[in-house]
Every structure is written in C-alpha cells, then in structure tokens.
Amino acid sequence: MDLPVPSSQEGKVEILYPPDDLKPSGDFRRLLAEYRGWIRTSHHKEFDAFLAFKEQNARAEEATWEIRRDLHRSDDRPDQDRRRNALKWNLFLHLAHEIRKEEREAEDLLKTLKEKGSPLKGLIEEETPGPLSDLPGRENALILSEAGMSQVLEAWFSLFENHLGDKVILLTLSPGVFKYLCDTWEEWGEGLAERDSLRDAVVLRRFPALERSPVHGIAGHLSGKTVGVIREEDLHGK
C-alpha cells in the first residue's frame, strides 16, 4: 500500500505520516540492522522473542521469566504494548521496503543482461541472440509470502488508521497488493465489492461496511473503504 489519498482534494496528493507516538524512537536504523541479522538465524521465532532478546541484553540483571512476564502483561501496560506493536509495525514496513528495493535492482540487472548481445557477435555471420534474451520476465510477482503480505498490510493499516476516513481512497501502485486485498475480501468479507474507476486511469473497488467483526484482520480494515490501483499503461505511460 502507498499513501492514502483524500478524494476531496482533486488533483492533489497529500503526504501523511503516522502519529508521533507511533514513530520509532532512538537509533532505529541500528535496530533494523540487528533485527535483520537476528531473523536470519532465528527465522522460526516470532517478533516478541526478538524484543525479549533485546530487553534481556539491556536488563541483564533481570531474569528471563520476568521479561517474558512483562511482555505478556499488555492489559496492565497498554502504553508499552502500543509502543511495542508500533516498533514491530515500523520494522515490518521498512523490511518490506528493502525487499522490494532489492527486487527492483534484480529486475534491472536481469533486464540489462537480457539486452546484452551474443558473445559470438562479429565472429560468425549468422545473427545469434544473447544467451539470456529468451528468459521470461516476472509479471507482478510477489516476493512476500501470503503470511508476510498479511503482516505488512496489517502494519500499514495499524500505523495509518487515524487517517483512514470514509472519504479516503487508498491508492496502491502494486497490482499484486491490489489483487491480494480483493482476494482477501472475497474470501473473508461480506458482500461484493463495487467495481468503479477514476478518470479511466485508476481501477477502484468499494468495499461494503461489515456488520460484524471479521475473522481476518485485513477484511476488517477494508470495511467501508475504497481501494484503487493505477492501470499499468497509465503508470508507465502509453
């Protein structure tokens, strides 16, 4: 997902940020690097285990069971629980951004290699294609798993929920994200999403409001919202 776009501001895109109390504090880049390294060796563990690991280092004099007890006492410590979740949401979004950046770099490299001519060019009369010229490209492939996509979108909705009014159009540049949202609603939502378009350049889906709490969290976030994706030809130019 990208930024929410107020439909009342025609021709304008406003850049919105999470509230100050949900922004990461301290040396976030260092924490991000530590989490990236930790997850490579502890990928089977959940995020709370990483926080316990960090807090254990910071409070070496406390027993591990005391740290775990504090982590699960969210009812007694709502503010700390909210900050802990905000930290998790920010980490997920930054990691997803890095993954997408690396994916684009790999796509650019593949494109460059496919455009290279054959090493035999000039040595033989017959024109030969490059060794990678017929390698198929990726079409809107999601490098994240379904569970990973759900976590990233849950983080985005949670951080920006204060900006998500009924008249806001949520615009994404990713057809894969748009398809995931539509598929999630089709499986877990209530009623059909209304199909619409915006100036023939944006495909829209208007999701009806849910009458009861959904089983799937993303379906709950989509309740009563409008989501759009820019058509591929308009995104890259006709």
Structure confidence by residue, pLDDT tens digits, 54-80: 666 655 544 555 555 555 554 555 666
Answer yes or no: are the C-beta atoms of 235 and 174 closer than 8 Å: no
Q: What is the pTM of this model?
A: 0.71
In angstroms, the CA 117 to CA 230 distance is 34
What is the structure's pLDDT at 24?
80
pLDDT score at 237: 53
- Contact between 167 and 14 under an 8 Å Cβ cutoff? The reply is no
| pLDDT in the model for residue 234 | 54
Q: How does residue 186 score in pLDDT terms, banded at 50, 70 and 90?
A: very high
What confidence score (pLDDT) does residue 120 get?
55
Contact, 227 vs 181, CB < 8 A? Answer: yes
pLDDT-derived band at 193, boundaries 50, 70, 90: very high
Task: Give yes or no for residue 5 having a pLDDT over 60.
Answer: no
pLDDT for the residue numbered 123: 58
- Give me the mean pLDDT over the 173-195 stretch: 92
